[in-house]
Amino acid sequence: MSKQTYTVSGMTCAACVRHVEKALTSTPGVTTAAVNLATSTVSIEGTASFAAMARQVDDAGYGLVRIKLEATGGAVDELAPALRRMIFALALTAPMLATMIPGLGWHLQGWVQALLATPVVFGAGLGFFRRAWKQALHGQASMDTLIALGSGIAWAFAMGEWWNSAHHLSFETAAALVAFLLTGKYLEARAKSRATDALTALLSLAPPTALRIELDGSVFEVPVSELHPGDRARVLPGQSVPADGRVTTGLAEVDESMLTGEPLPIAKASGDSLVAGTVVHGSALEMEILAVGADTQLAHMAAMVAQAQGSKAPAQDLADRISAVFVPTILVLAAVTFAGWWWLGGGFAHAWRPAVTLLVIACPCALGLATPVAVMVGLGAAARKGVLVRDAAALEALGQATDLVFDKTGTLTEGRPRLRRVIACGAMSGDDLLAVAASLERDSEHPIARGIRSAFKGAVPPVADFRVHPGGGISGGVSGLSWRLGSESFLGLTFQDVDEDGIAIGLANEAGLQGLFILGDRLREEAPRVIAALSQQGLKLHLLTGDRSAPAHLMATAAGISRVIAGVRPEGKLAELKKLQEQGAIVGFVGDGVNDAPALAQADCGIAMGSGAGEQGTGAAMAAAPLVLLRPGLEPILAARKLAEKTHRVIRQNLGWAFGYNLLLVPLAALGQLERFGGPMLAGMAMGLSSLTVVLNALRLRR
């Protein structure tokens, strides 16, 4: 029995979720089907073929699409068509709505209105009718049913008015209904367009080509897809490892920060393992390929992100939660209204007007716009405060969070080794020692080299016979002396007076050890202030890192965090977050590296540090996280918390207005009290007014 995840197209509400799940579970061979409305995906367990499942879903009025990790996903494909439909519908509807402006004196002939409205209703809105028809064949209904009935009957009613030469025609009601709903659908498609960015960013770490070593020793550049287990490949300095494997020849340092989150490369020699996407430094390596494609650790990490995204509770608003009752209730009320007026002797001509008015006025335009408009305005407000919001549910979760978990390196700290102090062990001064070390490190791309060079502000002396010793250090001639700079084992010495939490690098010549350089990461300047403010708001704060225990506790104490878990790999971070969530906590996670991507996706609110977005780690972290700090530092978290509360409040107000509008006007429509004010025409105006109200309310977030 296998478990697969697919994209589902055409879903609009919670009723659609139930329809898709019912269609799939009725397919022979399907054991379980769990639909995620927020990401438009479904996870299926069973043995049924894709073709069989796709037929069942298509019969229900929706579409089932394969997800390919190599691709950017289906959400992006939906965006352009949704935009075209929205623009087409709004452009044709606008002239008809303009005729309703008092004092304009603009009147369109009936044939012009019919020519404008018909393509909107049955062209741009064709999807509503297609899904409603297929659902009706299965005895099901959704908001598509209301939209199709409301716009279709309103169009037919307008055609009758035109046929009877009425002065005012109701074509704008039918067209405006479709146009407003398509606007909401476009905003939804735009939000979903980034659903698979995290997977793309992760998999892009692996290079597209590799240097394969043939049996005769020749080397050819081939696509990574042509590699197979057992092949041999060469990885040059500065290049990424193309697949999982082990070193067969060579000695070099490999940057595995995508797995560990720590910036220091690890020495790799014959027999050591290599992971796809990691970067080789110092010298070339030859490797044996052990796993390729979907079997690599990189692909497994991408799968963890996908699973974490799909396993979240759907970000369903109040409209989705009550749609199971709302849609059938409106249909029953419309039928009762029609029958009641017919029974009272009004005949068909009078009975269908209140029923049409009820259907039109109950169509969920305001409901469809209440949340996405507030989110779009809130997104702009958040961006001005240094926070990019990808998911309204995550922003809401930040406002309601009980626990906030921090990564260490690059999150609480600056993420790069800095020189803390120089210890002179001989006659040379600290400045002279630093000048020699900076000269030796002049051409090195190693993080320690950057830390030493940044501490020396003068002109570096020239270096001769420069040589890199992977995993140990470097050597070269400076000012007529031979120098070696590196670790204890490389120098064959024992360092004294070394900070336990720091990195000690020794500088020696023929006379012995001349000096020590103590480097270490540094806590962000604003970290204690931000941590204190978050703690005062009642949040439980945690530090979760792949680093060693000593430096982790040192940084946590300096920042003001009491709970520390160190030495944790990506899967361990994921497990810790799940454990907190199982205890009922609403968890936020702040991180910056590729290794943080699964945790950022699993958290109720993932927050990525966006400074340095061009770096290997941060790009995937930003793609996985629904919230990204655009400004450097942790300060934007405080602003995001405040904005989260305001946005949530506006969304609730919008939904309250939208439902209140229905609760007030639906009974009046059923009782015929709106007929004296224009019936369906008033319904169309009220529908537009309700949408305008929620938009104006959302715009308050800009202040």
Placement of tokens 């367990």 in the chain: 45
Q: Which of 473, 462, 465, 461 is nearest to 435 (CA)?
A: 461
Q: Tell me how far apart the alpha carbons of residues 501 and 552 are, in angstroms, rounded to a whole number.
A: 9
209's tokens: 């080509």
SS3 of 462, please?
A: coil
DSSP 65-103: EE--TTS--SHHHHHHHHHHHHHHHHHHHHHHHHTTSTT
Q: Tell me how far apart the alpha carbons of residues 131 and 10 are, in angstroms, rounded to a whole number.
A: 8
Note the Cα 206 to chain centre separation in Å: 21
Q: Tell me how far apart the alpha carbons of residues 36 and 56 are, in angstroms, rounded to a whole number.
A: 18
SS3 of 467, please?
A: strand
Has 499 been annotated as catalytic?
A: no
Q: Which of 131, 133, 235 is nearest to 181 (CA)?
A: 131
The amino acid present at 559, given as its one-letter code, is: A
The sign one gets for the Cα dihedral 384, 390, 391, 394 is negative
Sheet holding 244-249, edge to edge: 219-223, 209-213, 232-235, 285-291, 244-249, 273-274
248's tokens: 């067969």
Contact 52, 15 (CB under 8 A): no
Q: What SS3 string covers 525-572?
A: CCHHHHHHHHHHCCCEEEEECCCCHHHHHHHHHHHCCCEEECCCCHHH
Contact 185, 86 (CB under 8 A): yes
Sheet holding 30-36, edge to edge: 30-36, 41-46, 2-9, 63-66
To the nearest 10°, report the CA torsion of 122, 127, 129, 134: 150
List, in sequence order, every residue forming a beta bridge with 33; answer none if it has no partner.
Answer: 44
Contact 469, 475 (CB under 8 A): yes
Q: Tell me how far apart the alpha carbons of residues 650 and 21 are, in angstroms, rounded to a whole number.
A: 32
Q: Tell me how far apart the alpha carbons of residues 93 and 183 are, in angstroms, rounded to a whole number.
A: 12
Q: Which of 38, 39, 588, 587 is nearest to 315 (CA)?
A: 38
216's tokens: 């005769």
Q: Which of the residues 197, 407, 521, 596 is marked catalytic? A: 407
The amino acid present at 131, given as its one-letter code, is: R
DSSP 19-63: HHHHHHHTSTTEEEEEEETTTTEEEEEES--HHHHHHHHHHTT-E
* Residues noted as catalytic: 407
